[in-house]
Structure formats: C-alpha cells, structure tokens
Chain A
Amino acid sequence: MPAVSKGDGMRGLAVFISDIRNCKSKEAEIKRINKELANIRSKFKGDKALDGYSKKKYVCKLLFIFLLGHDIDFGHMEAVNLLSSNKYTEKQIGYLFISVLVNSNSELIRLINNAIKNDLSSRNPTFMCLALHCIANVGSREMAEAFASEIPRILVAGDTMDSVKQSAALCLLRLYKTSPDLVLMGEWTSRVVHLLNDQHMGVVTAAISLITCLSQKNPDEFKTCVSLAVSRLSRIVSSASTDLQDYTYYFVPAPWLSCKLLRLLQCYPPPEDGAVKGRLVECLETILNKAQEPPKSKKVQHSNAKNAILFEAISLIIHYDSEPNLLVRACNQLGQFLQHRETNLRYLALESMCTLASSEFSHEAVKTHIETVINALKTERDVSVRQRAADLLYAMCDRSNAKQIVAEMLSYLETADYSIREEMVLKVAILAEKYAVDYSWYVDTILNLIRIAGDYVSEEVWYRVIQIVINRDDVQGYAAKTVFEALQAPACHENMVKVGGYILGEFGNLIAGDPRSSPLVQFNLLHSKFHLCSVPTRALLLSAYIKFINLFPETKSTIQEVLRSDSQIRNSDVELQQRAVEYLKLSSIASTDVLATVLEEMPPFPERESSILAKLKKKKGPGAVSVSELEEGKREGGELNGGSDRGADTAAMAASNASTPSPQADLLGLRSTAPVGSAAPSAGSLLVDVFSEAGPATPSAAVNDDGFLSSAPPSEDPAPPLSEADELLNKFVCKNNGVLFENQLLQIGIKSEYRQNLGRMYLFYGNKTSVQFASFTTTVSCPGDLQSHILYMQEHFVEPLVEGGAQVQQVLNIECLTDFCDAPLLNIKFRYGGALQNLTLKLPVTINKFFQPTEMASHDFFQRWKQLSQPQQEAQKIFKANHSMDTEVLKAKLLGLGTALLDNVDPNPENYVCAGVIQTKNQQVGCLLRLEPNAQAQVLSHTHTHTHTHTHTNLYSCL
C-alpha cells in the first residue's frame, strides 16, 4: 500500500478528483469545477470560521483546479493563513499553493515574507527547508530584497543542518539569477567556496551549482574553487564503485556531482599550478579509460551515468583546447559512439564532434569520420539526428572535402525534412562560396540549390550569387550560359527566373553570338515565364527587358510592343504599370548614348560579410528575438524603397526592390552605388539616416516651435548636453526618484536605488504626443576617463518604437569602481514625424549615491576627525547658501546626501555633523563632514576630512 495512507487522506479532495475524472465531456468537467469553485467561495466567505483541515482541503482543491488549466482568482489569503499554521501539513500545502500560484500582489507578498521570516528563524530544519523551497520556487525580486542578505548567513553558519544548507545554497542561486545586484557574497565568498570540501556529498552537490553560477560572473573572486574542485573530482574518480554508498548510482560514483565539477572547471582556463593540472589531466585520462572498460551493469542507467561524465569531460577537454593528446582521444571515443546502437549516443557524439571540428588539434581527426557522418545523414531515422549530422558535415568542411560534402548535402536536400531545408540551403550556399576554387562550380551549386529546393532559397541566397557574378568577370559568361540552359526546363522555380532575368539582363550579350541563344531567343525564353510569375518577379523582368533594349538594339521594337500592350501599360498593379510606362518612354525618347549611360552594367558590389552568413547566424541565435529582428529589417526595407528612387542607371534593378520588401537594398549595395540625388528624404527613416551624410535631410517643420528641438541639429552624432543639464542633475543630488526631463514631446522619469557600490536606475520614457516615435534609441556614455575604469554602466535596450501616449522603461545597472566627478551622459534619439530628435542629458549618478551612513558617538567622531587632519585629507570651503537655511530642510538634504546625521556630537548645536562611507568597488572612503551655518550672512562654512584626496573635489561638487 502506498505510504500516503499514513498521512492525511483528504477524502473530499479524492472524491472531487474522481468526479472530475468521471466527467464524460469538457462541458461536464467545467460544470463540476464551477460548482466546486462556488462551494469553496461560499465556505471562505461564510461566517463560520473554517478549521485548518478544511482550509487545507479547499486550498488543495483550488490548486488542483489551477493545475487542470483553469484560472484561480481567490484563495490566496487562505493559503497565506495556512503558512502560519502550526500543523506541518497545513503549512506545507500553503507553501505549495504560493509556490505554484504566486501573484505579485504586493500586500500578499508582505504577508508571505513575514511567514517565511518566522519559519527561517524557527531553527526547526523542516520548517526552514519549507520556507527556503518557497523562496527558491517563487524567486521574486521582493523576496530577494527581503532575504538575500539572510540566506548566505544560514548557508555558512556552523550549526546549520545539512539539509538546510542544501536548500539555502540553491535558494540563493535562484535569487542570484533573478536579482544578481541584491545577492552580495563579499565576505562569504571564501566560506562558500570551501563548501566544496564539505563532508556531506549532498551539500557539495547543491553548493556547487551556486558556486558555478557565481564563478561565471566573478571568476577572479572564486578562482580558488579550481584546485578544490580538482581534488574533489580526483577523489570521486578514483573511488571504488561502492565507496560513496548512496551517492553511487548504478555502479557509477556520484555522477551528478562529477558532471557539476567538470562543468565548474569549464568556467576557468587550465589550472596554472602544475600539480593541480597534472592531477586534473590524470582524472580526464581515467574517465577516458573507463569508457573502454567493460560495463559493470547492462542497465542503460549505468551507461548513461558513465557517459554523462565522459561527455562532460570531453566538453572540458574541448574548452581547454590545449592538450592535443586528449583531444584526439576524445575524438576517437566519439568516433566509436558514431556507430553505437543507442540513438542517444549517436546524437550526442555528432553534437560534441561539431565543437571538436573547430579545434586545430582535432580537425583532421574529425575529418576521418566523414563517411560515417554522411551515412548518418542518409540513413538515420530520426530527423533530429540527421540534423546533427548535417551540422557536423558543415563544421568539418574545408577546402579538401568541400566538393564531396556539398554534393552530399545537395543530394540529401532532395529528400530532406521540410523543417530543416532552409537551414540546409543556407549552409550549402555558404560552403559553396567559402570553398569555391572555381566559380563555375559555385554557380552550378547555387543553381542546383534553386532547382532542388527553390522554395527554401531565401532572397539572401540568390542576391549573393548575383553579387558574386557581378563582381567576377571570369564567371559571367559561364553564368549567362548556365542560367540560359536552366531556364529551358519546362517548369522552373521562380527564383531561377529571377536569377536568370537578372543575369541575362546584365550579361546576355556574352552568349548572344551563338544563334541558339540569340537576343530574341533569350528574350522569348524569359518572356515565356513572365505570366507565371508573381508581381515582384515581373517587375524584375521588365527591368531586364529595358536592359535588353540597350544591349541588343534589334530587340527594341519587340520589347516596346510588349511594354505597350494593355496587359503592361494598363496593368492594375501600380508598380508594373509605372515601370512599363517609364521604360517605354525611356526607350523611345533617350538617345543611344543616354540609354547606354542610364542602363550601364552594374558596378561591382563592395565586399562585405556574406549576408547569408549573417542570416545563418541569426537563425542560430535565440529563436523568437532573431525572427522579430528579421521582420523588423524587412519592414524597414519595405519602407526604404517606397518607390522613391527611380530613373537613374541603377533604377532598372533598384526598382524591383520596391515590391520585394526585404533587407535587400542593403544587401545589393544599392545605397552605396545609387546616385545621391535621387533620394527623397521623406521615405523611411533608414534612408534619411544613410543620406544625412551626403545630402541634407529635411526635418519636418512641425515641431520646430519647440525651442529645444529646433536647436538640436538633425545629425547622427549625439547632441552636446543640454545647457540646463547641470541644473537638472543638481535636483537629483539628494533624491533618487523624480522627473529628470520634460519637453513638449517627451518626459523622462527616474527611479533609482543604490546599495553599496551598486546601483540600479529605471528610466521611464513617456511619449507625450499621440504620434509614434520611431527609431527610438538611447545610449549611455561616460565622458573622459569615466569611461571604463570609474563607472561601469550596463544598459538594457529599449524597443525602437514608442507608441503615442505610451511609456517605455529601461533599466541601467551601475557599478562604482572608484570615485568620480563627472556624471555619465544619456543620449536619446528618435524620430518624431520624420524629424530626428537628438538630446543629451546628464544622468544623476553622483558620488554621494554610494554613501553608506555611519553612526558614531561624539567621542569616536572627533577622534577620527583628528586622525584625518593631514593636509591632503582635509578640505574646507565657504559658500553662500542658495536657499533659506531652514533646519528641517537642511537636515533632510543632508540625509538625502546619504550620510548619517549625527545628533549631539558637535558641541555647538547650530552645527551639523555627518559621517558616511563611500563604497566603491576598489576601496571604501570614509567621510566626515561638518556644516557650520551662519544665519545672518547666509554663509555656510564647511569642513570635511577623510582618507582620500581628490574625493574632496568630487564631493564638494555635489554639495
């Protein structure tokens, strides 16, 4: 009988679950649930106080309903009540409900945090674990604020039970992941690292995840973990399979811990200490050796656990990339797995070999497996394995095997799964270009691609082949001949028509000598496809035709007739109609010379990173984001070519872009070759950006009534800081929140918080108009030497579009490295009604933000004051107060400055005395400050002293 029978059989719950399971239809289920919800609601609202058991039962029912996928909007309060129950099961259910259904209702969070606080201080390990689990499960910022400083204490305290330590370590990890700024290890660092030596394997297993994460962010502070990890690993690897008792899993000693240790070591370069390194290499060799030993069990769990360690060790070997011997051994081991009967192992071997292929030491060794990998591509039954094989072929490709690999990938494409075709096409296109020795092979390959998988050949791919053909005159004749032949096929892909139209339009003359491909034959061939094509392709073909008129005067009358036909000149599509009209006119009024100039051959494209490669990188990047970026690009591309430039020599091809929206304009290098004069600044934003250097952009006059806006030059360089920026800045010396800037268009609000040497600033950009701001970008810069070594700022980017009336938020993380004087600059650029707005403000980050107040008694104060009396430690200044010297106002300001205001310290009650420590990453600077107001003359004289010289100046500038 299951152990549950011991516990709290909640009969009502079981009955309810059975009822739900017996429901014959979705409707019946919903009906039953609604009935139950009504029942629970009335119980919760009823006058009769519910006992703990009933409360627990109903909360549990709500949880069940939620997990079925229904929304739950009540019961939170009852769950919170359960948290403070003395009965374990009630508490436990309360915590479970909170963990699953947390809701950022601030009032509730406060109550939850209170209950957690009580349990954490209960010294009852079972309760403490429950509370820690809850924090780890919810992991919200509010919880981090409440507990981030308490948990490290629990983690390293000598009297904490092991199970609590384990929970505390992972709880802290979760908080660190959500709010790294709030989890400050500082003094705990070394004790946390030493948990790697803990006697209890469970503690090490939990703590190492925390240490790994912290090491990734602060490698220097945690670097002592390397030698500890190596010795721990060495002890595990060399232990007999029974030494570790319950931590041995199917005869494999501590597989989880081993993997985590190997993973931790991947945060660091190879150990510098020879002895440590020797020991580690020994471990890695032992792991590789064990892979060759006969298995101790036939169970798959045994081999999985063993191989998990092996793969993690290989990852470490690849990460080091410095031990040729180990790399080759790893490669051979993976080679064995390539033919293993376990699909999982074949998959992982292919995946892991991909990274090995990029190491110079093992690249050749990987290449020896080419036949096996090709075979995998052909015969694996699982598409995800075939995908890995294709990736590996791509990774192992070089000049020596490119032709074979490309051929195999092409033939695979014919039957490849739809889901991976596009990526395969990109890969083939890249390899063909990268390793092309003769470009006729390249042209053949791309045309084959179009033939085999035309639907998956993205624009980038066919643009690229055109770029290359245009740039290399040795391949142009061959390309013309090949496309001509390809177009003979009765059914050819539209992408083939595009490439064919483009290339024949440019280089048809190179094959026109052969009567089988005379100008008229070429034209008729192209035109035979015309009616089957989409509008963008037709537009491109029309452009090819006008190029034909220039190349082959004998085709002029035939083509003019085509252009003149009703189906062209009265085409319902504006784009096609306009082209037909303009090309017809151009061909009949322009002289041969003019025509020859206007329709000249395309100039070579500037060399740049292959656009296909860029696309593949994007494809590989984090899914959703890259797709949306791509779409963004497409939209901009569309706007950009909104029918603005036309009629110049590139127009023939450029115009075709108008109806095939994509980032192609950039790709084809049109903007750099297009004559500047044809640009209309009213088009999309990108266009104006690009031409703003060459020709003057005309900002819309609509907003020029605003003083600031008219003064801001519409250039791309950040504007100089506003004249009132300093004044705006001063407002924030003593406060952290408020409105930083406001004009007719934009309001910028600030909320900031500081903790020791770290700060976080939230910037709120409000669009006050009803019109969208486009291309909205913000840049934070640190002038002069503030740049890198004084203040470190990390910004999160904002969306480029701010809708009318909307507000967007940006978060800045700030770290003060040492003391500084100048404030960082915030530059904001956006387009309002087409005009570029460019404004620069000073961010209110001043040295006093990093003050930590220090309380001290009169005696201490003056003792320190005397100690700090050397000339460079002391400064004083007399200045006229700008404001009235109301005591309360002054007090508030001094507190706002961040120091502690010390009462009863100075013998003269009129004086103000403050103390604080400025926290920077590199040092802590203690400051003592005395203010002596002189009410009659409105003059304050002002002395302060501390440990560091030029901080005086900086601090005074704040005062």
Chain B
Amino acid sequence: MQFMLLFSRQGKLRLQKWYVPLSDKEKKKITRELVQTVLARKPKMCSFLEWRDLKIVYKRYASLYFCCAIEDQDNELITLEIIHRYVELLDKYFGSVCELDIIFNFEKAYFILDEFLLGGEAQETSKKNVLKAIEQADLLQESEDEYLSVKIFK
C-alpha cells in the first residue's frame, strides 16, 4: 500500500498515512485530487478505480471515507477488508466510533493504525492482538510510576 487517507463528506482530511516518500506539496496535491475524485462518485459505484498508475480502493463508513492507494499487483478485495478491519479496531477501541473520536483522539487513531499496518503491509491481523498492544500501552499510561520500576522484560 502506498498511502491511506481518511476524509469526511465535506472533504476534510482526518488522517493521512504515507508509506512512500513524497514531498508535502505532492501529498497535498494527491489528497486534493483524490478527495475530489472519490467524493464525486455515486453510492452504488464500485469501490475500485484506476488513478495514475495506482489502484484506489475506498469505502464509506457513515460520514467518513477510507481510501487506500495500492500498486498494480496488489489485491483490491483484501485491501477493502484491511479498511474494514481498521474500522473494526477503531470501533472496538472507542466503543462505536464516530468521526469526532478520530478528530479529538487523532493520535490514538495513528497508534492503532501502526499496530495494524506497518510500512504499508499488514503486520497483525488479529483484532485481539492489536487491541492488546494498544491496551497495554494505555495501562502503561495509567501507572507510569509503577511502570518505571517494574517493566523490564527478559
């Protein structure tokens, strides 16, 4: 995967993750172009489209669009399910996630994504394992003083 974008129906970018090196200017240009293209599509249309030399896979969940760019050889359907699994993870973590959760806790959305996808590839597809990692981190936050003295793994 080359990048993932989350944006609202109004075209506001909510999360951006780039797995290839691009300049800020290019990123902005790509975002603008893609947001426009995807928002212009009608609801019943298919979730895939060709864009430049990439394949775009997108899906709308409530007010948010999740949009991934993958390479020619990559599998569209499994990417669609990558999106779905990410939504499930957010949902489970926030408890029935909505756009506001992602706005106010954007850093959490990034942390969850990093546990799930790394370098554009699925790192851990088990929902339990991903959430366990995030919850562990949350526990660390709760009791950081304690943590400092105890947590030394083998």
Answer whether A and B are interacting partners.
yes
Question: Bound complex: CA of A869 vs CA of B88, how far in Å?
Answer: 70
Query: Which of A235-243, A377-385, A396-404, A479-487 participates in binding chain B?
Result: A377-385
Chain A 854-875: CB-based contact to B (< 8 A → 1; otherwise 0): 0000000000000000000000
- Interface residues in B71-93 by Cβ distance below 8 A to A read 73, 75-78, 80-82, 84-85, 93
Residues of A within 8 A of B104 (CB): 14, 17
Chain A 1-18: CB-based contact to B (< 8 A → 1; otherwise 0): 111101110000010010
B50's partner among A21, A140, A387 (CB-CB below 8 A) is A387
Ranked 5 nearest A-B pairs via Cβ: A308-B77, A174-B119, A308-B78, A209-B121, A170-B118
* A490, CB-defined interface residue at 8 Å: no
* B39, CB-defined interface residue at 8 Å: no
B29, chain A: closest CB distance, angstroms: 11
A304 touches B80 (CB 8 A): yes
B78's partner among A71, A139, A256 (CB-CB below 8 A) is A256
* A622, CB-defined interface residue at 8 Å: yes
* A846, CB-defined interface residue at 8 Å: no
- Interface residues in B110-137 by Cβ distance below 8 A to A read 110-111, 114, 118-129, 133, 135-137
B87, chain A: closest CB distance, angstroms: 11
A263 touches B75 (CB 8 A): yes
Question: Bound complex: CA of A817 vs CA of B148, how far in Å?
Answer: 52
B63, chain A: closest CB distance, angstroms: 14
B58, chain A: closest CB distance, angstroms: 11
A635, chain B: closest CB distance, angstroms: 23
Residues of B within 8 A of A173 (CB): 119, 121
* A60, CB-defined interface residue at 8 Å: yes
Question: Bound complex: CA of A651 vs CA of B46, how far in Å?
Answer: 53
Residues of A within 8 A of B85 (CB): 249
B140's partner among A126, A140, A308, A381 (CB-CB below 8 A) is A126
A167 touches B110 (CB 8 A): no
B56, chain A: closest CB distance, angstroms: 10
* B152, CB-defined interface residue at 8 Å: yes
B78 touches A255 (CB 8 A): yes
Question: Bound complex: CA of A381 vs CA of B85, how far in Å?
Answer: 29
B48 touches A623 (CB 8 A): no
- Interface residues in A229-265 by Cβ distance below 8 A to B read 245-247, 249, 254-257, 259-260, 263
Given A89-B141, A308-B81, CB of A139 within 8 Å of CB of B122: no
Residues of A within 8 A of B133 (CB): 129, 163
B107's partner among A63, A86, A202, A387 (CB-CB below 8 A) is A63
Given A123-B153, A256-B78, CB of A205 within 8 Å of CB of B94: no
Tell me which of B120, B121, B142, B147 has the highest count of chain A C-beta atoms within 10 A of its own C-beta.
Answer: B121
The interface on chain A, measured as residues whose beta carbon lies within 8 A of the other chain's beta carbons, has a size of 84
B95's partner among A1, A87, A259 (CB-CB below 8 A) is A1
Given contact pairs A137-B119, A266-B73, enumerate 13 new A-B contacts (beta carbons under 8 Å).
A1-B95, A2-B93, A8-B141, A69-B28, A92-B137, A96-B107, A170-B118, A171-B118, A174-B119, A202-B129, A246-B128, A301-B84, A304-B84
* A161, CB-defined interface residue at 8 Å: yes
**B98: nearest chain-A partner, CB-CB:** A2
Residues of A within 8 A of B61 (CB): none
Residues of B within 8 A of A209 (CB): 119, 121-122
Residues of A within 8 A of B13 (CB): 67, 69
**A623: nearest chain-B partner, CB-CB:** B52
Chain A 32-54: CB-based contact to B (< 8 A → 1; otherwise 0): 00000000000000000000000
B48 touches A167 (CB 8 A): no
**B79: nearest chain-A partner, CB-CB:** A308
* B36, CB-defined interface residue at 8 Å: no
Tell me which of B50, B118, B122, B142 has the highest count of chain A C-beta atoms within 10 A of its own C-beta.
Answer: B118
- Interface residues in A155-178 by Cβ distance below 8 A to B read 159, 161, 163, 166-167, 170-171, 173-174, 177-178
B107 touches A93 (CB 8 A): yes
Question: Bound complex: CA of A259 vs CA of B42, how far in Å?
Answer: 29
**A248: nearest chain-B partner, CB-CB:** B126
A390, chain B: closest CB distance, angstroms: 12
* B49, CB-defined interface residue at 8 Å: yes
Question: Bound complex: CA of A68 vs CA of B118, how far in Å?
Answer: 23
Query: Which of A181-189, A341-349, A540-548 participates in binding chain B?
Result: A341-349
Residues of B within 8 A of A624 (CB): 52
A384's partner among B19, B45, B53, B81 (CB-CB below 8 A) is B45
B73 touches A263 (CB 8 A): yes
A124 touches B123 (CB 8 A): no
Residues of B within 8 A of A201 (CB): 125-126
B124 touches A205 (CB 8 A): yes
Question: Bound complex: CA of A166 vs CA of B94, how far in Å?
Answer: 25
A126 touches B81 (CB 8 A): no
* A136, CB-defined interface residue at 8 Å: yes
Tell me which of B44, B49, B85, B104 has the highest count of chain A C-beta atoms within 10 A of its own C-beta.
Answer: B104
**B77: nearest chain-A partner, CB-CB:** A308
A388, chain B: closest CB distance, angstroms: 9
* B60, CB-defined interface residue at 8 Å: no
Residues of B within 8 A of A304 (CB): 77-78, 80-81, 84
B21 touches A178 (CB 8 A): yes
B130, chain A: closest CB distance, angstroms: 9
Question: Bound complex: CA of A202 vs CA of B48, how far in Å?
Answer: 27
- Interface residues in B27-69 by Cβ distance below 8 A to A read 28, 42, 44-50, 52-53
B154's partner among A21, A123, A136, A249 (CB-CB below 8 A) is A123
B153 touches A124 (CB 8 A): yes
**A2: nearest chain-B partner, CB-CB:** B94
Residues of B within 8 A of A63 (CB): 106-107
**A172: nearest chain-B partner, CB-CB:** B119
Question: Bound complex: CA of A256 vs CA of B52, how far in Å?
Answer: 26
Chain A 114-142: CB-based contact to B (< 8 A → 1; otherwise 0): 00000000011110010011001101100
Given A1-B95, A209-B121, A304-B77, CB of A384 within 8 Å of CB of B103: no
**A166: nearest chain-B partner, CB-CB:** B123
A575, chain B: closest CB distance, angstroms: 37
B138's partner among A6, A17, A100, A263 (CB-CB below 8 A) is A6
A347's partner among B46, B118, B142 (CB-CB below 8 A) is B46
B106 touches A64 (CB 8 A): yes
B60, chain A: closest CB distance, angstroms: 13
Residues of B within 8 A of A256 (CB): 78, 81-82, 122, 125
* 7 A-B contact pairs sorted by A residue (CB < 8 Å): A1-B95, A21-B103, A67-B15, A174-B19, A254-B125, A256-B125, A348-B48
B121's partner among A60, A93, A170, A622 (CB-CB below 8 A) is A170
A136 touches B48 (CB 8 A): no
* A206, CB-defined interface residue at 8 Å: yes
A246 touches B77 (CB 8 A): no
B77 touches A307 (CB 8 A): yes
Residues of B within 8 A of A259 (CB): 75, 78
Residues of B within 8 A of A4 (CB): 94, 101, 105, 108
B110's partner among A96, A178, A622 (CB-CB below 8 A) is A96
B126 touches A246 (CB 8 A): yes
B2, chain A: closest CB distance, angstroms: 11
**B148: nearest chain-A partner, CB-CB:** A86
B80 touches A344 (CB 8 A): yes
Question: Bound complex: CA of A263 vs CA of B73, how far in Å?
Answer: 9
Residues of A within 8 A of B154 (CB): 123, 159
* A689, CB-defined interface residue at 8 Å: no
Question: Bound complex: CA of A537 vs CA of B82, how far in Å?
Answer: 54
Question: Bound complex: CA of A624 vs CA of B30, how far in Å?
Answer: 13
Tell me which of B46, B81, B108, B119 has the highest count of chain A C-beta atoms within 10 A of its own C-beta.
Answer: B119
A6 touches B114 (CB 8 A): no
A67 touches B121 (CB 8 A): no
A729, chain B: closest CB distance, angstroms: 35
* A285, CB-defined interface residue at 8 Å: no
